[in-house]
Structures are given as structure tokens and as C-alpha cells.
Amino acid sequence: MLIGLAAGWLAGRIMKGKGFGLIGDLIVGVVGAILGGWLFSDVLKVNMGAGIIPSLVVALIGAIILIWIIRLIKKA
């Protein structure tokens, strides 16, 4: 959960948004972690290894992609 929260918060800052609040950042981070894990392991077939830093990187990339998709949907 802490990695998801950190990933959601960082993704919000990287994407130059205000974030989604504490609960929203947590949700974006956790869903982003799931999306990033699926993307790296199943689609790209890349093993990032174990540990906090690789997990944070995968969750962060997934959260950035998720925020990008959310913004595309909001514009439509």
C-alpha cells in the first residue's frame, strides 16, 4: 500500500497535476502497480527483479500510464 501511495503521488507530480487526494493517489498507485506489473511481466516479458525500488518503478510507470488514460477519457 505504501508503494502504491508513493507511486500515485509521484505520478501525479510527474504528470503535472494536482493529484487526486490521498485516497485517489492510493487508488491510482495500486491500480497503476497492477497495470505496470501486467505490462512488464506479460506484455513486455521484462523481469524488473524484487525489492522496493523495482516495485516502485513498475508501480510508478503503471500509474503514469493510468493517469494518461484517465486524462484521455476526461477530454472525450
Domain, as residue range, for 43: 2-75
- Position 22 scores a pLDDT of 72
Instruction: Give the E-state strand segments of 1-66 in sequence order.
Output: none
Per the structure block, which three cell numbers stand in for 2?
A: 505504501
Q: What is the pTM of this model?
A: 0.81
The ranges of the chain with pLDDT < 70 are 17-19, 76
Distance CA 46, CA 44 (A): 5
The total domain count for the chain is 1
- Taking the C-alpha atoms of residue 73 and residue 21, their distance in angstroms, rounded to an integer, is 19
